[in-house]
Amino acid sequence: MHYFKRVDDEIHPVQKATNPAGTGLIKSSCATRTTHLVEVFIMAHAIGGEQARRLMLINYPLICTRDDLSFTARDVQGRMVNWPRNNPGVAADWEKGMTFFDQEVSALAAFDETEAFHAIQFAIMGMGGRCTNLEIGFVQRVAAAAVLGLRAMRNGEADFVAVDREDN
């Protein structure tokens, strides 16, 4: 189990920004690839002697690496394919593209922001100039998230910096 605790703004502002609502509890591990949902409880901050109370329950797919994303795959040589190839481009794919970002990439970012950064970067590069509803839906959500990020930076939030890792 992974626990996240709310901390004082002055002591650990980065941790607070990561989990501003309070305490979260992830009820599963990312040790194995699974398709079940993870429940995250967002708890209200306990004031004085009061008990913390649950504010909301968020269900999202257990996604810990780019391999866990439904829109990625490995080719026969084991290389990562970062975006679906030979997509026929049907109307229903618009929603599907938005869901890739809203649910899967968001869940990955909650676990590993650098991995989510790479998922977005390589998915867009993997689109290879294709412009079907799948790509449009995904890119629309990326653009909206980018605008929110720019707004946050204007309000003093630090830029996101990907962590270099040798294990990739």
Instruction: Find the range with the poorest average confidence among 12-26, 100-114, 137-151.
Output: 12-26
pLDDT at position 26? 34
| Structure tokens, 110 | 């909650």
CA 114-155-12 angle, 5° bins: 60
Contact present, 126 and 81 (Cβ < 8 Å): yes
Under a CB-based contact definition with an 8 Å cutoff, are residues 89 and 132 in contact? Answer: yes
Render pLDDT for 35-62 as a digit per residue (tens, 0 to 9): 444 444 444 444 455 555 554 455 556 8
Q: Would you call 133 helix, strand, or coil by DSSP?
A: helix
Q: Specify the pLDDT at position 92.
A: 87
pLDDT tops 90 at residue 122: yes
Of 25-29, 85-89, 152-156, least confident by mean pLDDT is: 25-29
